[in-house]
Structure 1
Amino acid sequence: MSRPDPRLRAAYPLFRPIQTRWMDNDVYGHVNNVVYYSWFDTAVNGWLIEAAGLDIHAGDVIGLVIETRCNYFAPLAFPDRIEAGIATAHIGRSSVRYEIGLFAAGAEAPAAQGHFVHVYVNRDGRRPVAALPDRMRLALETIRQE
């Protein structure tokens, strides 16, 4: 499998700030790889709650992650400030593929980039929804990757 080229800042229509924490660093002096996946979730779900009306506590529709990937290009470490770039690469009937780039504040090239796929299901039966809620679909369209 070949390593992808980094997608520069201009590839992402939306950015969300993330502050590293002391506990994010590992014994090698940089952010541990598992934290990057947490940042993916934090950036996307925070935006979904604010912009798309996702109700994580009582909503009928929830997103389950079914696929994820991350490629690393440069280390990040506490106390770096991170800017998470987000784009939608595919919006289906009940699924969405998000592309995420993690940038040191102000950097043009990402320290890491990846994707994850949400399948939206009904909360009770955990079966895929017939269609994404209108407000969510409209919000997702605003960050569609060109």
Structure 2
Amino acid sequence: MDPRRDPERLSLASYPLSHPVQARFSDLDGNGHLNNVALASFYEDARITLDWRIFTGGRPVPFDNFTFVVANISIHYLAEARYPATYVVGCGVGRIGTTSFVHSAGLFRDGVCLGLCDSILVHLVEGRPTVIPPDRRAQMEALAFPVRAGADAPAEAEAGIEAAAGTAVDAGAVGIPDQPAQAGSGLVGSEPDRR
């Protein structure tokens, strides 16, 4: 199914982890919205936070005896993102293969999904794709996307949503109106490599 039409991909509640991101003035482009490269960095930041949560218990330290590289990133830009604003990136492990896994993410503001990102990562040993060990697979499955019906969202997800709501820029205090999410830009990202 096209991720842009998948209701689970378009709902923050489907993601097991939420990561708040504050837009910066330097993220703006000449069109007055957040630059696509800046948005890609939002997904990257959330992906690293997810990896730390999966592989190190949330500590920003190297992954012990588990090397992986990004093989592909696919981004669908669904709507414009504006400054000033706080966004939330929902993320989780969308698929686990034999030697690779997919991080699935969505960028949200005010309940509106502004974009989707899938990152394919490959497990390497001595520079070659290698079977993901069962213990690592189990760690990834604990943060699988979508969150299954009846499952409790991790405390981090709830805290991330609350933190994002609590740290939103009070644009009125600085004399700049906060920009609402803009739907329908129709921009399309690259399609994933299907080899």
Using the size of structure 2 for normalisation, the TM-score is: 0.62
Equivalent residue, structure 2, for 1:138: 138
Contact persistence 1:85–1:103 (CA under 8 A): yes
The yes-or-no answer on 1:20 pairing with 2:23 is yes
Pairing 1:88-107 to 2, within 5 Å after superposition: 88-104=93-109, 107=110
Match of 1:63 among 62, 68, 86: 68
Equivalent residue, structure 1, for 2:164: none
1:3–1:119 Cα change, 3 Å = closer
Contact persistence 1:83–1:103 (CA under 8 A): yes
| 3-state secondary structure, aligned to 1:111 | strand
Aligned equivalents of 1:38, 1:88: Cα separation in 2: 18
Structure with larger Rg = 2
| 3-state secondary structure, aligned to 1:110 | strand
One-letter code aligned to 1:19: Q
One-letter code aligned to 1:88: V
1:50–1:87 Cα change, 3 Å = closer
Overall identity of the aligned pairs, in %: 24
Gaps of 5+ in 1: none
Equivalent residue, structure 2, for 1:126: 127
Shift of 1:3: 7.9
Shift of 1:132: 3.8
Contact persistence 2:18–2:90 (CA under 8 A): yes
Equivalent residue, structure 2, for 1:4: 4
Shift of 1:142: 1.9
Shift of 1:133: 6.6
One-letter code aligned to 2:39: Y
The yes-or-no answer on 1:114 pairing with 2:146 is no
Shift of 1:108: 2.1
How many residues are treated as equivalent by the alignment? 140
1:25–1:12 Cα change, 3 Å = same
Contact persistence 2:50–2:91 (CA under 8 A): no
Higher strand share: 1
Match of 1:80 among 81, 85, 101: 85
Superposed CA RMSD in Å reads: 2.4
| 3-state secondary structure, aligned to 1:130 | coil
